[in-house]
Amino acid sequence: MNKVPMTVAGEKQLRQELEELKSEARPRVIAAIADAREHGDLKENAEYHAAREEQGFIEGRVQEIEGKLSGAQVIDVTKLPKTGKVIFGVTVELLRVEDEASFTYRIVGEDEADIKERRISVTSPIARALIGKEEGDVAVVKTPGGDVEYEIESVEHL
């Protein structure tokens, strides 16, 4: 089984979601199913079918999260030596060479990625171009619009 890299924050977030699903969502849906059963004929009971469908989604998500957590390799970047090299979990400040626009991204696991929060997946083209480079290096990212060069301004272990 392949290990999937995950940050400490990503693991915590998944564990919280799992706990919420098991302690709140599951009992709520079970109660809704029991309540809908009391209304009589189950064949034509829309509330019952909706609750059963929601139960299926919850159970599927619980299994998905448990699978991800069992295959997770949690990496705490704050405990790794600071070398100035871009690795999984670091926060990178970049300067786009062509127009000197500045960007800051944190390289995280696939499930944690959220561009609005400036978290990019380790499998994204920009992260793949950055991994292994050091502060001061220029990384070339291949995009549909052509190659884009980014200079690595700083690498932080946050």
Model confidence pTM above 0.85: no
User: How high does pLDDT run on average in the chain?
Assistant: 92
Over 80: is that where the pLDDT of 1 sits?
no
Give the pLDDT confidence score for residue 142 in this predicted structure.
92
What residues pair up with 134 in beta bridges, in sequence order? 85
Which of 72, 80, 82 lies closest to 9, judged by CA?
72
% helix, strand, coil for the chain, step of 5: 40, 30, 30
| Close Cβ partners of 102 (under 8 Å, ≥ 6 residues apart) | 93, 94, 95, 96, 153
What region does 118 belong to: left with phi over 0, alpha with psi -120 to 50, or beta? left
User: Tens digit of pLDDT for each residue in 35-77?
Assistant: 888 887 777 788 889 999 999 999 999 999 999 999 999 999 9
pLDDT-derived band at 140 (thresholds 50, 70, 90) equals very high
User: Tens digit of pLDDT for each residue in 84-118?
Assistant: 899 999 999 999 999 999 999 999 999 899 999 99
Give the pLDDT confidence score for residue 138 in this predicted structure.
94
Judging by DSSP bridges, how do beta strands 102-108 and 72-75 pair with one another? unpaired
**Contact predicate 126/65, CB 8 Å:** no
Secondary element (H or E) of residue 62 = helix 46-70
The values of phi and psi at residue 115, to 5°, are -60, -30
Judging by DSSP bridges, how do beta strands 138-143 and 146-156 pair with one another? antiparallel
